[in-house]
Structure formats: structure tokens, C-alpha cells
Amino acid sequence: MRTIPDVDALILLATALASKRRPAALAEIVSAADVLKGTVPYEVKLGEAFYRLSADGLIRQVAGGFTLTPEAEKLMAGGRRKIETDERLLLIKENLAAYEPQGEHEPIFLPLEQIGAAIAAHRSEKKNPGRNLLMPKATDPVRFYKRDGQWRRAAPSRGRKA
């Protein structure tokens, strides 16, 4: 077993989340990592993680985006369906430590400028709620309550009349 940085498991999970239907752009993977962990890893750590994971044959670049390889999907499978994010990251990290790469794979080298641009794009999209589907939505201030067997909207306070 080898030691695995935490960012590797995070990037694998973020790539799986962002590339469900199509290859994910780098900014989408950064957004997914922010949703999962609450912070964005440093540019250098992101670049190193992409290099390591692609050299091990777990991430590939397809049509300008990134997807998981079938080997990575096997690593991601397993465990309970409903599991906390931290537990899932630990499980992925354990699977990565036990994983032995098969054959030679071409590593993906991402320049720091490209990673910095993706992080900047994520931060600008984060300020515009509603455009980024990976960011959590704000809670609605309207509350509902149950009365007489039906759900009703709470009446707004009318204030005091003088």
C-alpha cells in the first residue's frame, strides 16, 4: 500500500460528480470539489493530483473535458449508497492505496495558468446564484406548516398598526 494525498480522492469524487453525462470541464470539477469539501485545493495540488491520477490510468482527457476510466469507476463503486462525504472520501482513499496501475498511461499536465483560470471562473460563477448547478441553492425563507392535514404557507407578519 502506498500513501495517497487527500486531494487525489477529492478529485476522483469531484470528477465522478461533474462528469456524469458528459466530459467535465476543469471549472466544473473545481466547482464539484468546492461543493464536496467546502474549499478549493491550491492550484499546485490540483495539477499534481491530475498528473498522478492520469499517470495511474484513472482520469482521461476526452473532447476538452475529463472523465473517469473504467478502472476508476470500479474504485468508486462499493460501500453503502447513502454515505457521508467524509466517509466516502476515506473509502476512495483506501481503494486508491490498494490500487496497482496496469501498464503505461499518458499523464495529463495542466499548466498553472489553466488551473488558475478555472478557479477564477468558478469563483465568478459562485457569485451568480442560479447559473452553476453544482453549487447548493439558497434556502427559501417561506416556511410551510401542517394544519388540518394539509400543508399551508405561513402567513407573513403584519406588524403593529398604530
Q: What is the pLDDT at residue 141?
A: 57
What is the pTM (predicted TM-score) of this model?
0.73
**Residue 103, phi-psi category: left (phi > 0), alpha (psi -120 to 50), beta (remainder):** left
Q: What is the pLDDT of residues 28-66, one digit of tens each?
A: 999 888 888 888 888 899 999 999 998 988 999 888 889
Strand duo 65-68 + 59-62: pairing: antiparallel
Q: What is the DSSP letter of 135?
A: S
For cell 470539477, name the residue.
Answer: 29
The pLDDT-based confidence of 121 (bands split at 50, 70, 90) is confident
Average pLDDT on 101-115 reads: 86
Whole-angstrom Cα distance, residue 150 to residue 141?
A: 20
Locate 161 and state its grid cell: 398598526
Q: Which amino acid makes up residue 88? A: R
Could you give the C-alpha distances from 80 to 93, 127, 128, in angstroms and in order?
16, 34, 34
